[in-house]
């Protein structure tokens, strides 16, 4: 799993609607091929009511997936695997 700041593209891709604690999980074709559905399912099964987990379209980072974005921190994680899910929740708890 790799981490990048995502703030330069987020306002364009998300229409500037940042704020709530959310996890966006790319479900674009390339990320689905790399297993993003399993990431989405794992995140949805472990989330609390305070964190929204949502599928999203291509994030323009194809080839490095599965890709997810943590908001409001605007952190882009690439090559996420299901075993990373617990670490992600611990890292981004309030
Ligand atoms: S399909 Fe996920 S970044 Fe393009």
pLDDT digits (tens, 9 = 90+) for 4-56: 666 545 544 554 444 578 999 999 999 999 999 999 999 999 887 788 899 99
Beta partners for residue 53, in sequence order: 23
The pTM of this model reads 0.82
CA of 90 to the centre of ligand 1 (A): 25
**For the chain, which domains are there?**
2-91 (3.40.30.10)
- Between 29-38, 42-51, 58-67, 74-83, the lowest mean confidence (pLDDT) is in 42-51
Instruction: Choose between 73 and 69: higher pLDDT.
Output: 69
Q: Which of 37, 17, 16, 38 lies closest to 27 in space, CA to CA?
A: 37
Query: Residue range 59-84: average pLDDT?
Result: 94
Nearest ligand 1 atom, CA 66: 2
Nearest ligand 1 atom, CA 65: 2
d(Cα 70, Cα 44) in Å, to the nearest integer?
Answer: 14
């Amino acid at each position: 799993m790799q981490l990048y700041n995502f703030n330069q593209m987020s306002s364009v891709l998300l229409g500037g609607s940042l704020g709530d604690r959310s996890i966006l999980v790319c479900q674009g074709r390339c990320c689905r091929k790399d297993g993003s559905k399993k990431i989405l399912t794992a995140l949805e099964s472990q989330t609390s009511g305070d964190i929204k987990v949502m599928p999203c379209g291509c994030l323009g980072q194809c080839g490095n997936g599965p890709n997810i974005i943590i908001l409001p921190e605007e952190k882009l994680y690439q090559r996420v695997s299901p075993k990373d899910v617990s670490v992600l929740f611990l890292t981004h708890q309030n």
